[in-house]
Amino acid sequence: MNMKISKTIFSFGTFGLLFGWLASAQATTIYNSGGFETFTPSQNLDGQDAAPLGNGPWAQDNGTSTAQVTTANSVEGNQSVKITRAAGATGNTRWGVVKSVTPAGLNNVVNVYFDMRAVRAANEFGPLFGIEAYDASAGPPKLIGSLLLDASTGQLLCHAANTGAFVGTGTYLDVIRHHHYRLAINFTAKTCSLFADDDLVHTEGFVNTNATQFTDGPLATLALDTTNNNAGIAYFDNYRIEQTTSQLPYLVWQGDGTTNNWDAGVSTNWFDGISAVAFTNGDDAVFDDSGSATPAIHLQGSLLPGSVEVSADLNYEFSGTGSINGAAGLVKEGTGTLTVSNTNGYTGETRVLKGGLAIRNTTGSATGTNKVSVFPLCTVSGDGTIGGSLWVASGGVVQPGIGGPGTLTIGDQLVLDDAALKFDLGTNSDHLVAGGDLTLGGTLTITNAGGFGPGTYTLI
């Protein structure tokens, strides 16, 4: 698919939707459509006239438009906005509400949110529906960035920095349902991050790096050719503009699906709520279902996170020659299993609140020097070493080995509080080795590992 977007070859579609921007330490809402419930069905909204790009700022004209509020396509509210682009339509009219915000604070981030469902055009390549951001505070409008969707192909794309276009792989738009989109504009880093259904798709530099504030954010229909022959219909709802001066208080693992390196200051495999960044010692690290779990997370060097939380239904694995050190603890949530195959020296507690923890290291301790606590309905398994003590609550499970007999070693005391022990016994058998006191209570389940019969078996 050969697609080009540039200031010289495409003309803007007939309609645009303009809304406001935000300002706050957490998040300040500048504009919220509220599902457009405040508008009367079939009412034409105020429009805007825009001279050809680069020839002047937008001017509010209170003109008419075929962009109408309709009750037929609600999302969360009762009404949505319907934009119809007829074949052969021409002109540069936009419509909506204009807001002007000068971002302030450390991160200077403005977010534009909207839900949209488009009826695909009969012809290929458009129209494009979506959001553009401009700085028209002084001189001709300066294009900051865009989040556009091809109504024919369902692809997400945007203006690339300086010239050309980015075209995402995959389908981010379909005719079955509304999708949720966000354009996050970072005025410090001069980047625009594109999100579809809460997933980060792409981060692009400002088209015009001289842009310093947000003054105009039209939702518009655009065409990829000069004839404007392509037709389409889009329904918009829940349009919201916010400003924030803070990112997430933690980093979320994204990975690259190739090496999946977790290092300090090198690999931009993390998401801070705005863009892809590298991990820095002291950051809190979160692994959820949005990240790459294949291949295993490859730790490099001595990592000093503030905390580590694995909250995922995916099965993650920590491997590599690197280690988690410092005072951090580790929390395991989500139904997936976290496998730890590397050596770690952190001094915080390891808490398994949901899912499983598999210990597979060959040297040192997989879980640092503090205790491991396994809560009800959770499982600890493996053939590696827990350097501290192990406490398993009532309803928790201890299962040495991985897919067969193995020895799980505990460096300090072992406390089983009415827990379930599951052992494979036979010619080769499971073992628990504890370096401290034993407090045992619970049930024992034995599985024949081959060769199981009368005899003496040492379990612990």
Contact between 392 and 417 (Cβ < 8 Å): yes
Contact between 58 and 50 (Cβ < 8 Å): yes
Look at residues 54, 46, 116 and name the one whose alpha carbon lies nearest to residue 80: 116
Q: Copy the structure tokens of residue 370.
A: 């503090």
Dist. CA 329–CA 148, nearest whole Å: 42
* Per-residue pLDDT at 346: 97
Query: Which residue in this structure is represented by tokens 């690197």?
Result: 322
* Per-residue pLDDT at 444: 78
Look at residues 37, 22, 21, 123 and name the one whose alpha carbon lies nearest to residue 76: 37
* Per-residue pLDDT at 106: 54
Contact between 130 and 146 (Cβ < 8 Å): yes
* Per-residue pLDDT at 12: 26
Angle at 267 between CA 264 and CA 271, to 5 degrees: 95
* Per-residue pLDDT at 22: 26
Instruction: Give me the percent of the chain exceeding a pLDDT of 90.
Output: 32
DSSP secondary structure letters along 378-391:
-EEEESSEESS-EE
Q: What SS3 class is residue 118?
A: strand
Dist. CA 302–CA 324, nearest whole Å: 6
CA distances from 180 to 144, 311, 402 (A): 21, 23, 41
Residues of the chain with pLDDT under 70: 1-27, 34-67, 72-78, 88-100, 104-107, 120-126, 176, 219-230, 245-248, 449, 451-459
pLDDT tens profile 183-230: 988 887 788 888 888 777 888 899 999 988 887 777 666 655 444 566
Q: Which amino acid is at 360?
A: R
Q: Tell how strand 199-205 and strand 261-262 pair up.
A: unpaired
Q: What SS3 class is residue 36?
A: helix
Q: Is the peptide bond before 400 cis (omega within 30 degrees of 0)?
A: no
Dist. CA 204–CA 206, nearest whole Å: 7
Q: Copy the structure tokens of residue 16.
A: 């645009």
